[in-house]
Structures are given as structure tokens and as C-alpha cells.
């Protein structure tokens, strides 16, 4: 079945996962925070770090690097938890560091390649060409919906 083409976001929150610059539609980002501690959940997949309490709500925390097959995120002072909405649930995406919020020119968005920075192309809605870099537009629902 062909992947449904989504409209390019107007703005993206961008972040680094290893050497890959990625972004998500700003409309699906609830917040970015420094809380990266999670309570482990027995028998969860290796990319699930656990759960955390975010103002009374239980949020699953996913090591995005591990989920995308790029190893594990190393915790530093710049490590952040990007809280996104996926299938009407908040999910924390652990990333190496936050970059910027960027405006998206729909004309600068190209189809996702088969592989971008070692990440399967199915994880992306497309690629945004900016001055000096490529930003993979992460398809959060596709990534989180894939089996481990």
C-alpha cells in the first residue's frame, strides 16, 4: 500500500539524533523538557526507557536513537525529552540535543530517500533542504507504530 502523502509542516522543531538532523511538525510537540529520568517497565522493548509522570499524566519515554537503529542516546547536559502527541497519547522522545524551530517552505521539501543518515526512509515524511543542511522530517506516528 502506498504511503499517504502528508502536507508539509509550516514549522518544525529540529533536533539531533547522533549525526542526523531531524525535525517534527511543531503542531505535534507539546513541550521540550530536561526531565529524562524514566521508571523502567518490565518486558518493554529495548527502545522504551520507561514511563515518567508529567503533571499527573503517565508518559512513555522512547530512546529515539535506539528506536531508529542508531544505538543508544548518551546522556549529556544537552539531552532533552521532546513530548509529542502520537495517536492521541503523549510520548517522550529522547534526543541528543535541540536545534531550532525552522519555517518550512513547502517547495524545499523533497521525498524521503531510502536511507538518511543511517535511518530507514520510512521514518520520514520527507527531507527539507536548508542552507547547509538536510533536515529529515520525522513521521512520528510511523516511527512509533513500527515494531521494534
Residue 6 domain-assigned? no
pLDDT 10s digits, 10-36 = 899 999 998 889 999 999 999 999 988
Tell me the mean pLDDT in the region 96-119: 82
Residue 4 in domain = no
What does the pLDDT read at residue 70? Answer: 87
Q: What is the pTM of this model?
A: 0.86
**Is the pLDDT reported for residue 67 higher than 70?**
yes
Q: Domain count for the chain, please give it.
A: 1
Higher-confidence position of 112 and 30: 30
Does pLDDT of 114 surpass 90? no
Mean pLDDT of all residues in 32-42 = 92
Has residue 106 been placed in a domain?
yes
Spatial separation of the C-alpha atoms in residues 136 and 37, rounded to whole Å: 27
pLDDT score, position 120: 63
In this structure, what DSSP letter does residue 34 have?
S
Q: What is the mean pLDDT of residues 61-83?
A: 94
1 occurs within a structural domain: no
What pLDDT does residue 57 have? 92
3-state DSSP call for residue 121? helix
pLDDT of residue 118: 56
- What is the domain-level CATH number for residue 127? 2.40.50.180
Amino acid at each position: 500500500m502506498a504511503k499517504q502523502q502528508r502536507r508539509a509542516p509550516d514549522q518544525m522543531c529540529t533536533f539531533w539524533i547522533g549525526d542526523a538532523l531531524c525535525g517534527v511538525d511543531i503542531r505535534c510537540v507539546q513541550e521540550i523538557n530536561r526531565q529524562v529520568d524514566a521508571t523502567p517497565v518490565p518486558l518493554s522493548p529495548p527502545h522504551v526507557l520507561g514511563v515518567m509522570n508529567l503533571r499527573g499524566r503517565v508518559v512513555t519515554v522512547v530512546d529515539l536513537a535506539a528506536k531508529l537503529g542508531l544505538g543508544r542516546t548518551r546522556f549529556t547536559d544537552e539531552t532533552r525529552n521532546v513530548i509529542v502527541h502520537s495517536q492521541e497519547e503523549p510520548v517522550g522522545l529522547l534526543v541528543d540535543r535541540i536545534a531550532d524551530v525552522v519555517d518550512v517552505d513547502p517547495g524545499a521539501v523533497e521525498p524521503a530517500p531510502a536511507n538518511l543518515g543511517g535511518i530507514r526512509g520510512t521514518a520520514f515524511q520527507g527531507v527539507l533542504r536548508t542552507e547547509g543542511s538536510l533536515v529529515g522530517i520525522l513521521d512520528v506516528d510511523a516511527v512509533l507504530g513500527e515494531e521494534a
